[in-house]
């Protein structure tokens, strides 16, 4: 049964007031104008998702408002922590070794400028940091290379903010910067939504939020964004916005409101997407901690379940209620909540593990195959296919079947991993005998799941005669195409001679199956004149003339 308790964080309010008095910044880490609130204690009733917390080694950078990103380098998993602070806004970097459960903050290149209430996003083998310093230096984008230990300054945002909700679309090319403000509990908040294109290092304005909000939690799965809680310029906002991205135009987002955040108008919570199970899997947006109206620290934890399209209350609570921190992970069933603010900056490091999540509705954006075709040239088959988008695409196994035989793998073409850009592929199957052949693609994800394409069919017909065709074009400069056909398999030689009988090029020399063939002759190193080309097999010879005009 749920019961009401009064949380009187007097010490926290006094700290917030002290900040305002000492530094002239009202509520940098805390909204000192708010009054204590009565909130619901979390119970285990009606919980669909089960949760366990693990306390890990605390960060050596015990800062409020830092940002974190999870990254795999080689065989090792790490969490990088960047910046943080309020009156002093830091440029330092710390790294957590997940396997060793240890932190270090020495030897890392400093961020070019202080980042406070920013967001770190892993994109491939790099980490991008979005945000800036409160009131000065907002809207920065930096790229960190953890292997080279170097920073690169990228394009500034169109609307200069920090404290935004920043989420990575499953295509590694796109990042959404949603709302945000100047890092203070004031009236400077934004409704702007900005799309960052990693490949082109450019920002584009998107459909804005229905209202201006900063300090939100949330996340993204497939084409759906959840943005919840935050600061609306005067108080904490409990509103949850659901944004559906137009697949044909990622700048177009349809925003609607769904159920409010269960803990109310909570600011600066830690949040991150989670999934559990094989596809289609359970999935949701995990949210924990924060401060109600920027003042009352929270330990409550919730999940926006994509399968039930509703909020779930999770237990147990976060062991140390705190705000001004970020969540990160590898989008599985674990979320790491690092550092934060109580009355001071803390380095507390907790791992949330969801051991069950209700539902099985989530699958990554599939590989969308838009075309697959086959063409024949002699005894050579060329396969061509295109995709409109890909998620977790390891690649394509090419399978062939002839007559009554089973399909066999004849090759593999690597995919592009995750992308919403159209991609083109090709594969050549050579030296085929007469007959009818069927081809299909086996698209394989990184997790081993696969799906077959439709089947394409071709027929190889062996020519009835030995024949050498006239080259085309003729005259030519500097290259021309020569076609020939063989009625039977055997050794064959195709060579080029000048008019005094000197051999100047050998285009084919060796065993060949019966069939029709085409070769290209590049005469860039020869002078203008008439040349002879001769096709010779064990039983036949044919010769023709061609003209090179330079």
Do 103 and 236 fall within a single domain? yes
Do 424 and 524 fall within a single domain? no
Is 361 inside any structural domain? no
Is 426 inside any structural domain? yes
Is 72 inside any structural domain? yes
Do 143 and 99 fall within a single domain? yes
State which of 298, 331, 356 marks the end of a domain. 356
Do 471 and 395 fall within a single domain? no
Q: Domain of 84: which CATH number? A: 2.120.10.80
Alpha helices per DSSP H over 491-530: none
Is 30 inside any structural domain? yes
Taking the CA atoms of 401, 406, 412 and 413 in sequence, report the sign of the dihedral they define. positive
Q: Domain of 425: which CATH number? A: 2.60.40.10
Say whether 149 sits in a helix, a strand or coil: coil
Do 509 and 534 fall within a single domain? yes
In whole angstroms, what is the distance from residue 86 CA to residue 133 CA? 9
Do 184 and 132 fall within a single domain? yes
Is 280 inside any structural domain? yes
Q: Which of 240, 227, 246, 271 is nearest to 174 (CA)?
A: 246
Confidence at residue 172, expressed as pLDDT on a 0 to 100 scale: 66
Q: Compute how many other C-beta atoms are within 10 angstroms of the C-beta atom of residue 457.
A: 10
Q: Domain of 489: which CATH number? A: 2.60.40.1930
Which of 142-158 are b and which e, b meaning 16 or more Cβ less than 10 Å from the residue's Cβ? Answer: bbbebeeeebeebeebb
Do 409 and 498 fall within a single domain? no
Do 11 and 76 fall within a single domain? yes
State which of 460, 477, 497 marks the end of a domain. 460
Confidence at residue 25, expressed as pLDDT on a 0 to 100 scale: 30
CB 266 within 8 A of CB 239: no
In whole angstroms, what is the distance from residue 328 CA to residue 323 CA? 15
Do 198 and 112 fall within a single domain? yes
Is 410 inside any structural domain? yes
Is 362 inside any structural domain? no
Residue carrying structure tokens 């009352």: 296
Confidence at residue 279, expressed as pLDDT on a 0 to 100 scale: 67
Do 427 and 471 fall within a single domain? no
Do 443 and 474 fall within a single domain? no
Say whether 20 sits in a helix, a strand or coil: helix
The total number of structural domains that make up the chain:
3
Confidence at residue 31, expressed as pLDDT on a 0 to 100 scale: 52
Q: Which residues pair with 95 in a beta bridge?
A: 80, 104
Taking phi over 0 as left and psi of -120 to 50 as alpha, with beta for the rest, 16 belongs to: alpha
Do 454 and 499 fall within a single domain? no
pTM of the model: 0.65
Which of 119-137 are b and which e, b meaning 16 or more Cβ less than 10 Å from the residue's Cβ? Answer: bbbbbeebbbbbbbbbeeb
Structural domain including 430 reads 368-460
Give the containing element (helix H, strand E) for 53.
strand 50-56
- pLDDT by residue for the chain (550 residues), tens only, comes to 333 323 333 333 333 333 332 222 333 454 544 433 322 333 333 345 789 999 999 999 999 999 999 999 988 999 999 999 988 889 999 999 999 999 999 999 999 999 999 999 999 889 999 998 877 789 999 999 999 999 999 999 999 999 999 999 866 679 999 999 999 999 999 999 999 999 899 999 999 999 999 999 999 988 899 999 999 999 999 999 999 998 778 899 999 999 999 999 999 999 999 998 776 688 999 999 999 999 999 999 999 999 889 999 999 999 899 999 999 999 899 999 999 999 998 999 999 999 888 888 877 667 788 899 999 887 889 999 999 888 778 889 999 999 878 899 999 999 988 887 889 999 999 888 888 999 999 998 776 667 889 899 998 887 778 999 999 999 999 999 999 988 888 999 999 999 999 999 999 999 988 888 889 999 999 999 999 999 999 989 999 999 999 8
Is 471 inside any structural domain? yes
Q: Which residues pair with 520 in a beta bridge?
A: 481
Confidence at residue 124, expressed as pLDDT on a 0 to 100 scale: 84
State which of 356, 383, 398 marks the end of a domain. 356
Output the six-digit token pair for 235. Answer: 């108080």
DSSP 3-state helix, strand, coil percentages of the chain (rounded to 5)? 5, 55, 45
């Amino acid at each position: 049964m749920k019961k009401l308790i009064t949380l009187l964080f007097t010490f926290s309010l006094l700290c917030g007031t002290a900040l305002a008095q000492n530094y002239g910044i009202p509520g940098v880490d805390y909204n000192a104008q708010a009054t204590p609130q009565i909130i619901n204690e979390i119970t285990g009733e009606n919980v669909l998702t089960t949760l366990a917390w693990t306390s890990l080694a605390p960060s050596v950078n015990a800062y409020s408002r830092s940002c974190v990103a999870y990254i795999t380098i080689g065989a090792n998993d790490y969490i990088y922590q960047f910046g943080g602070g309020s009156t002093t806004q830091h440029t330092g970097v710390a790294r957590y070794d997940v396997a060793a459960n240890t932190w270090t903050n020495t030897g890392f290149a400093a961020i070019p400028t202080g980042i406070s209430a920013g967001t770190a996003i892993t994109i491939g083998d790099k980490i991008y940091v979005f945000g800036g310093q409160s009131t000065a230096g907002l809207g920065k984008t930096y790229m960190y290379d953890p292997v080279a230990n170097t920073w690169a300054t990228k394009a500034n945002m169109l609307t200069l903010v920090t404290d935004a909700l920043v989420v990575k679309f499953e295509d590694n090319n796109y990042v959404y910067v949603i709302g945000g403000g100047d890092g203070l509990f004031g009236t400077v908040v934004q409704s702007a939504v900005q799309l960052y294109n990693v490949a082109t290092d450019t920002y584009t304005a998107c459909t804005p939020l229905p209202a201006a909000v900063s300090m939100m939690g949330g996340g993204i799965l497939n084409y759906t964004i959840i943005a919840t809680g935050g600061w609306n310029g005067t108080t904490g906002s409990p509103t949850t916005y659901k944004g559906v991205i137009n697949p044909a135009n990622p700048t177009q987002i349809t925003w609607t409101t769904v159920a409010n955040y269960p803990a109310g108008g909570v600011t600066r919570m830690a949040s991150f997407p989670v999934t559990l199970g094989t596809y289609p899997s359970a999935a949701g947006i995990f949210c924990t901690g924060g401060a109600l109206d920027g003042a009352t620290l929270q330990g409550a934890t919730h999940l926006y379940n994509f399968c039930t399209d509703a909020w779930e209350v999770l237990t147990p609570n976060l062991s140390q209620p705190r705000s001004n921190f970020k969540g990160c992970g590898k989008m599985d069933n674990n979320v790491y909540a690092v550092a934060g603010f109580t009355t001071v900056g803390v380095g507390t490091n907790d791992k949330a593990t969801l051991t069950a999540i209700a539902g099985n509705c989530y699958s990554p954006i599939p590989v969308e195959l838009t075309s697959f075709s086959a063409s024949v040239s002699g005894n050579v088959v060329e396969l061509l296919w295109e995709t409109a988008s890909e998620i977790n695409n390891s690649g394509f196994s090419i399978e062939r079947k002839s007559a009554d035989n089973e399909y066999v793998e004849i090759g593999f073409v690597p995919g592009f991993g995750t992308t919403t850009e159209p991609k083109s592929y090709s594969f050549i199957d050579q030296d085929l005998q007469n007959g009818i052949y069927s081809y299909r693609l086996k698209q394989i994800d990184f997790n081993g799941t696969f799906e077959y394409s439709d089947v394409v069919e071709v027929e190889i017909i062996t020519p009835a005669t030995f024949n050498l065709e006239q080259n085309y074009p003729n005259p030519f400069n500097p290259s021309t195409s020569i076609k020939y056909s063989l009625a039977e398999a055997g050794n064959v030689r195709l060579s080029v001679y000048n008019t005094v009988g000197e051999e100047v090029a050998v285009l084919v020399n060796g065993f060949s199956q019966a069939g029709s063939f085409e070769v290209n002759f590049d005469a860039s190193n020869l002078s203008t004149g008439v040349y002879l080309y001769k096709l010779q097999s064990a039983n036949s010879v044919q010769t023709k003339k061609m003209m090179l005009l330079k």
